[in-house]
Amino acid sequence: MSHAPEPTPGPSKKRPLSQVTHSDDHTEAPQKVSKIHPFFSKPQEKKAEFKWLESLGPARSCLHGINLQPRASTKVAVLDLDGTVIKSEFGTKSANGKPSFEWWRSCVPDKLKELHESGYAILLVSNQGIKPGALKTWKEKIPLIGQALNTVPFRILAAIQKDRFRKPMPGMWYEIERVFKEENVEIDKSSSFFVGDAAGRQYGKGKADFSSTDRKWAENVGVKFYTPEVCFTLSKAGDGAHGF
């Protein structure tokens, strides 16, 4: 009885040990590679935020704060806060009980950014002779303004007593001159200006600004004065008999 020839064994599919690559060797447990998200791959620089500094004056009656890292400049854009940069609502809180604010006009942030990019140092000044509780709420509101102006460095001074810092007295201006001199910068008053709503304007029919302290402050300091309407909307409407 004939038998079918047995098949000739083909070449072995096994490779010599010398040809086995490291990836082919499964005898060792694979090493676990930790994947790091790019966000965490490098240390993140903490962006500076608004902070209150030590108050100024012998009685610490001038609050002093900075947003980001404001630099001294020969030209300064000084602005009143309430009624000029934001709507005047002393100590107000939102419905959930937290401090809140509203821009005087929607164009205010863009204008402040434009001034900053044009080389102006931004300085906010304010009279805040209010009760401690309302002052606390007001102070909590300023960091919110800083968050909304997260690309605009600014400095803020606020007089909380009736002394040399309170507008129209020029004490807050003298402090800025002193701070800038520490950076070897002398302010050019001819290139600087002040914007405020207390301009002593008469609107007719018994309507008028509550005071003229902002206009008088600019006169005492020796810088040009503008109302918010002129600065932010380039309009003389509502500037009254004392308009520009």
- Cα 215 from chain centroid? 26
Residue 72 clears pLDDT 90, i.e. is over it: yes
206 pLDDT exceeds 50? Answer: yes
For residue 93, what are its two tokens?
């809180």
Give residue 21's pLDDT. 46
Residue 217 to residue 215: CA distance in whole angstroms? 5
Neighbours of 213 (CB within 10 A): 20
Distance CA 84, CA 218 (A): 15
CB atoms within 10 A of CB 165: 26
Q: Give the class (CATH, top level) of 51-239.
A: alpha beta
DSSP string covering 191-207:
G-EEE-S-S--EEETTE
Give me the residue label for tokens 């240390």. Answer: 43
**Mean pLDDT computed over 116-141:** 93
Using the predicted structure, report yes or no on whether residue 45 has a pLDDT greater than 60: no
Q: Is 50 exceeded by the pLDDT of residue 244?
A: no
Mean pLDDT of 25-32: 48
Amino acid 1: pLDDT: 52
Compare 121 and 48 and report the one with higher pLDDT: 121
What pTM was estimated for this model as a whole?
0.75
What mean pLDDT do residues 53-77 have?
Answer: 97
- Ranges of each domain in the chain: 51-239
Taking only Cα atoms into account, the Rg of the chain, rounded to an integer number of angstroms, comes to 33
Alpha-carbon torsion 213, 144, 151, 232, what sign? negative
Statement: residue 29 has pLDDT above 80: no
Q: Distance between CA atoms of 210 and 83, rounded to whole angstroms?
A: 11
How far apart, in Å, are the Cα atoms of 113 and each of 11, 116, 119, 212, 227?
A: 78, 5, 10, 27, 18
| Helix-, strand-, coil-residue percentages of the chain, each rounded to 5 | 25, 20, 55
Q: Which has the higher per-residue pLDDT, 94 or 222?
A: 222
C-alpha dihedral (193, 198, 203, 207), degrees to nearest 10: 170
Confidence category of residue 99, pLDDT binned at 50, 70, 90: confident
